[in-house]
Structure 1
Amino acid sequence: MFNFKDLGIKPKENPFTGKKIDIDDILNEEIIVYDFEIKDSTKKSGTKYLTLQIEIDHKKRVVFTSGKTLMDVIEQIPHDKFPFKTIIRRNDKRLEFT
């Protein structure tokens, strides 16, 4: 019988660190965005969600959102421009980087 450790299987590394924080808790606050990932939602078929690696108050945090405007904009930012400072604001029902 094999020992699991001998199989050489490693879990996928999660590039995002820190506790989850709700998007509403960071609205209108200056944050630093380090990285992002857009994936298909497992909760709502046919939609996507955005994961942001941020820093707020000198702590690394992770934010999840389905904000389409944020996804559209962040995909246009070249990776060599990360990290960047921003404030996320609500404009009517849309979330926007400012």
Structure 2
Amino acid sequence: MNNFKDFNIKPRVINFTGDKIPIKRVFNIPIQVLDYKIENSKHKENTKCLTLQIEKDNEKRIIFTGSTILIQQIESVPKDRFPFETTIVNDNEYFEFT
């Protein structure tokens, strides 16, 4: 009989730390994006939610957004390019990294 510990499977845990802040509090301010995850939204059916682990003013913070543009952009960033510095702008139609 096999024993699970012999499979050497480690849990994949993504724990983000810091206080949650509204995305509008970081518009037009340089931030560092440390990591992210994309999951199904718990609030809007059939949509995705982007969770960002950021650093602002030397403090780790968490941002939640359903912005499809931000999701598309961050999925295009290679994992080996994290962390990176950016600014999130709101052009009144959508949010984007600049």
TM range (shorter): 0.7 to 0.9
Identity score, percent: 45
SS of 1:53's equivalent in the other structure is strand
TM (norm. structure 1) is 0.84
Give TM-score, length-normalised by structure 2: 0.84
| CA-to-aligned-CA distance 1:50-89 (integer Å, 9 cap, x gap) | 0000000110000000110000010010000000000000
Deviations 1:21-64 (Å, cap 9, x if unpaired)?
11000100000000000000111110111000000011000000
Query: Structure 1 segments of 4 or more deviating over 6 A?
Result: none
Aligned residue for 2:71, secondary structure, equals: helix
Consecutive unaligned residues of structure 2, counting only runs of 5 or more, are 1-11
Runs of 5+ consecutive residues of structure 1 not aligned to the other structure: 1-11
Q: Residue 51 of structure 2 aligns with which residue?
A: 51
User: What's the C-alpha RMSD, in Å, of the aligned pairs?
Assistant: 1.2
Q: Report how many aligned residue pairs link the two structures.
A: 87
Q: Which has the higher strand share?
A: 1
Match of 1:96 in 2: 96
Return the offset for 1:14: 4.6
